[in-house]
Amino acid sequence: MRLKTCLAAAAALLAPAVSLAGPVAHGVWLGRDAGAAQTPPMGWNAWNAFRTEVDEGKVMGAAQALVDDGLAKLGYVYVNLDDGWWLKRRADGRMIVRTRIFPSATTPDGATNFRPFTDRLHAMGLKAGIYTDVGHNACSQAFDLHSPNLPEGAAAERQVGLAGHVVQDVNLYVREWGFDYLKVDACGLADFAPDSKLVRDQGYIGLTPEIDRSSLNRTDNARVEQRYAEVAAALKTARPNGDYVFSICAWGMGNVREWGKDVGSSWRTSSDITPNWSSMLHNYDSAAKRALYAGPGHWNDPDMLDIGQGDFDTAHLTEARSHFSLWAMLNAPLLIGYDLRKASPELLAVLGNADLIAVDQDPAGNQATIAYDSDDAQILVKTMADHHKVVALFNRTAAPVKVTLMAGHLKLRDGAEIELTDLWSKTVVRFTGEITFELAPHEARVFAAQGPRDLVGGVYLSEIPGAINVVDDGVRRPQLDPTVHRNVDPWGGTRSGGSRPLYSGWGGAQADATPYGETLQIAGHPYTSGIGVLANSLLQVKNDDGYRAFHAMVGIDDSTIDRDHAVRFAVYVDGKPVAVTPPLKYGDAPRDISADISGHRVIELVATSAAGSDETPIVVSWGSARLEK
């Protein structure tokens, strides 16, 4: 009944020939959902445990432990080499393996071959990953100069990165050698300035930096994207069936948070993790507010797990569990970075928590969104494929903290009984309305929540970020995200003059919040559910579950700074507008926009303004945006 009325209203708004400026609806799903990473990749990587001092025995030891400890069965199947495996680039461009540490790659002609190594892993039911750099040189050549495993030879022979050899190397790695996973780092674009002391001292051939680690403005974002896109294209050609993982490792630089999802299976959102609480917070924050940018086939990557070391070792199991819980809530890749040959049963129990792994690996790929935010405590809520909720209550501080969980945080019905099952202790508690927990220092408690949904017969878009593709978030000039925890730099300490925001992302589309982290509100009407985005944006929504109607209350958000320009909202199916509002101004009442989407797989939401790209962005809200049966 209600749907009919709304559709009639929408139809009345449609002029016979609608022409809309601004982002153009495509009619087809543009989200990157091909490839092997339908769920976040899981496995092991040599770096956090061994840095460049890796060898075949250590790697095969980890592989065997994955199998013997039952971790492979739980999904940890990638065994990934990191920096240090290479000897040099031959005159004809072929990369040569350092057979002193990877003896099985030895061949009589010296050409070397990693195929026996990947064959062994495959025969164990595992997959194999390899590492390279998108520039000419690798990170170890700048930061691990003491390493016994640095590339050798003349300057050109030591150019082990992909630059100038993209197709040749990609073919070698994923076709000839049979690797399934390619991690592509970016130090070659950042750390080898031709006039630097490093380049002079080491006799490298420099490259004018395209990434400035401390400055978004001095980074050539388009060039960085183009370089990674070339790798993506080469991978696609080399493995046309898409059966590979492409891991972009540009540490949140180059505005990768915007384009990473279209190019790779995952993209690092921050600098390297270190086994330190503050570093973990920093990396977690760098991905925690990017839910709308991730989904099946494309994942935010806050870096590998550092469980087993430092603040996350066997003596710090609360911290180890929190680190693991958060990565699972974020749908992060779960790559163990520990020498598994010596893992304690307690650590294996953390890494092997099947309930948490199921949270990370849920096929819907809905990264948790933040239902309550502060520097002390946070509540993260994730909607599983079957629409039940998983909630994490997280104490960021070193003191106990009280956290009250409300039905509303879960979008479950207030007044109905809700059952919480603790995914660590497996204990069950029930509550109605709200329940308070006292969290120990650094504790994260994670519960599966069952109870009647507030929205019956439908789902809010903010509950299904994995089904949303942010084609254009309206951000014209990338801005640094000031909400990422600013830790003392693990490498430079306090010599740098201060810890500053590093990663673009401020102003990006958000679930249940404005692009700047405020609550959604149109002309005095608050919305606890909805999407906040800038004008001149285009969001795609995948309707695989066969919903029949789209509804939202739209308008310019009260938080906007630009109050001058009007915005028109439109819903498209099959590339055609099916509901359009008149231009709405700041202060205009929220406008109902509804559309019949029966039988349509891709819904597109467009907000268009006449504001020029140099003007202050306009904040708009898709209040209560939802799909209904």
Measured distance CA(392)–CA(403) in Å, rounded: 11
* Residue in the shown chain whose Cβ atom is closest to ligand GLA: 139
User: Residue from 33, 56, 83, 319 that binds ligand GLA (CB under 6 A)?
Assistant: 83
Residue 471: in which H helix or E strand, if any? strand 468-472
Q: How far is the CB of 47 from ligand GLA (least distance, A)?
A: 5
Output the CA torsion 474→285→224→208 (10° steps).
130
553 binds ligand GLA (CB under 6 A): no
Question: In a 3-state reduction of DSSP, which class is residue 166?
Answer: helix
Extract the tokens encoding 162. Answer: 């992909």
47 binds ligand GLA (CB under 6 A): yes
Has 272 been annotated as catalytic? yes
Measured distance CA(238)–CA(174) in Å, rounded: 7
Question: In a 3-state reduction of DSSP, which class is residue 107?
Answer: coil
Q: How many residues bind ligand GLA (CB under 6 A)?
A: 9
Q: How far is the CB of 273 from ligand GLA (least distance, A)?
A: 8
Q: What b/e sequence results for 307-342 when a residue is b if at least 16 CB atoms lie within 10 Å of its CB, and e otherwise?
A: bbbbbbbeebbbbbbbbbbbbbbbbbbbbbbbbbee
Which of these is catalytic: 169, 180, 191, 272? 272
Q: Of 374, 263, 349, which Cα lies nearest the Cα of 37?
A: 263
306 binds ligand GLA (CB under 6 A): no
Question: In a 3-state reduction of DSSP, which class is residue 47?
Answer: helix
Q: How far is the CB of 211 from ligand GLA (least distance, A)?
A: 12
Question: In a 3-state reduction of DSSP, which class is residue 151?
Answer: coil
User: Residue from 33, 55, 180, 185 that binds ligand GLA (CB under 6 A)?
Assistant: 185
Contact 193, 136 (CB under 8 A): no
Q: What b/e sequence results for 121-136 when a residue is b if at least 16 CB atoms lie within 10 Å of its CB, and e otherwise?
A: beebebbbbbbbbbbb
CB closer to ligand GLA, 441 vs 490: 490
Q: Of 592, 603, 566, 581, which Cα lies nearest the Cα of 13?
A: 581
277 binds ligand GLA (CB under 6 A): no
User: Residue from 82, 262, 512, 596 that binds ligand GLA (CB under 6 A)?
Assistant: 82
Has 109 been annotated as catalytic? no
Contact 227, 256 (CB under 8 A): no
Interface characters, 256-275, with ligand GLA (x: CB under 6 A) = ----------------x---
Site residues (CB under 6 A) for ligand GLA, limited to 236-255 = 249, 251
Site residues (CB under 6 A) for ligand GLA, limited to 104-133 = none
Q: How far is the CB of 207 from ligand GLA (least distance, A)?
A: 16
CB closer to ligand GLA, 221 vs 247: 247
User: Residue from 139, 199, 207, 538 that binds ligand GLA (CB under 6 A)?
Assistant: 139
Q: How far is the CB of 82 from ligand GLA (least distance, A)?
A: 5
140 binds ligand GLA (CB under 6 A): yes
Which of these is catalytic: 133, 185, 557, 596? 185
Residues found near ligand GLA in the complex (CB under 6 A): 47, 82-83, 139-140, 185, 249, 251, 272
| Residues labelled as active-site residues | 185, 272
